[in-house]
Amino acid sequence: MNINTSNNHDNGEQDQKGVSKKRYMPLLLINYTCLFLGSVSSSLLSKYYFNHKGSNKWVSTWVQSAGFPFLLLPVFLPYYLFQCTQRKPFTRFTPRILSLSIFIGLMLGLNNLLFSWGNSYLPVSTSALLLSSQLVFNLILSAIMVKQKITFTNLNCVILLTLSSILLALGSNHDKPQDLTPTKYMIGFVATIGAGLLFALYLPIMEMIYKKVYCYAMMIEMQLVMELSATILASVGMVWDGGFTEMRKESKEVFDKGEGVYWVTMITNVVTWQLCFMGTAGTVFLTCSLTEGCMTMTALLGMNVLGGVLVYREDFGGVKIVSTVMCGWGFCSYVYGMYVNNHMMKLLDDHKQNINPSIEMAQPQPQPHSDLHLGFGV
């Protein structure tokens, strides 16, 4: 009886792995698309809010995570409505995972507040370039927390992005909006760097936690708890600062595009931020690589800079051009390093199989983390 049960379990596990491999590329493309659309749209919409006399930092913070109810659909519908999975929502969701999700959610809430402060004072293109510094912090923290090896190409990327941020800071006087004091501009500059640091800390922490995650559905459930925690933190700030009452007044009397446009901006911003965060979490989970998630975020910086210039007619002078080129150069160096590393690993695996194929076939093949955890569970 036990043998039959074990065989059935093994067959089910093999079926699940097969389905997982088929789901990998579609899920990865979906998450890349969410990350791309969410990152660009949310940055431009947040700046649109501040450009048209919106001024409440807590409102801007709150909309970044208030879209968490959208996650209830992929969490509960597959089991209760579509009945396409046997896994109940929050299965194996231990108290430890719950505590970690709440803690990381509060950290993301603080990150959202810092981003709002920075985005309220800085042009979109400048903010996007400064956020590229998260890769610098990310490589350092990854080396410490998850023992990631730093190669020449990684180090080259770190140096170029650091110099890019320094160059941008030196040329900030010409980029500063006329109605802002140097003190406020510097606050925005430091707040944006702080947001990049916190987000860089988030990525290696999530890589460590995802090793214990059972399936893709559990990742969504963790994201739901994290964004709920971030929303509670932002809501407390809104109540303390009178933000909920201020939203009605701001929409009618302050926002210069009218009340209707104000609420459309808020709702659209909620949706786009949700796409951004889900795309980020899904990319880190599916690729099972911290560096891949950072690489994708860095690739989107160019679109944010371009969007700031084309949509808001921001200045794109010599200093910003050089900073953008250095940022792109660092990103290309990072991509090349990843390509060389993957190519060498493939050659090494092929060499091992050619030396003793019989032993390789006899031994069970290790499965990558992403292939084991793509489905909604069985």
Extents of the domains making up the chain? 23-354
Q: Which residue has the higher pLDDT, 267 or 334?
A: 267
Give 130's contacts (C-beta < 8 A, 6+ positions apart).
118, 122, 165, 168, 189, 192, 193, 196
298 pLDDT more than 70: no
Task: Identify the CA nearest to 222 among candidates 89, 375, 32.
Answer: 89
Q: Are 54 and 255 in contact (CB under 8 A)?
A: yes
Name the helix (H) or strand (E) containing 211: none
What is the mean pLDDT of the segment spanning 177-184?
73
Highest mean pLDDT among 126-140, 208-222, 284-298: 208-222
What is the mean pLDDT of the segment spanning 120-149?
74
Q: Which residue has the higher pLDDT, 75 or 40?
A: 75
294 pLDDT more than 90: no
Task: Identify the CA nearest to 66 among candidates 244, 195, 216.
Answer: 244
Q: Which residue has the higher pLDDT, 176 or 277?
A: 277
Q: What percent of the chain has pLDDT over 70?
A: 74
Of 96-100, 168-172, 187-191, 254-258, where does mean pLDDT reach its minimum?
168-172
What is the mean pLDDT of the segment spanning 194-212?
84
Name the helix (H) or strand (E) containing 71: none
3-class SS letters over 260-329: HHHHHHHHHHHHHHHHHHHHHHHHHHHHCCHHHHHHHHHHHHHHHHHHHHHHHCCCCCHHHHHHHHHHHH
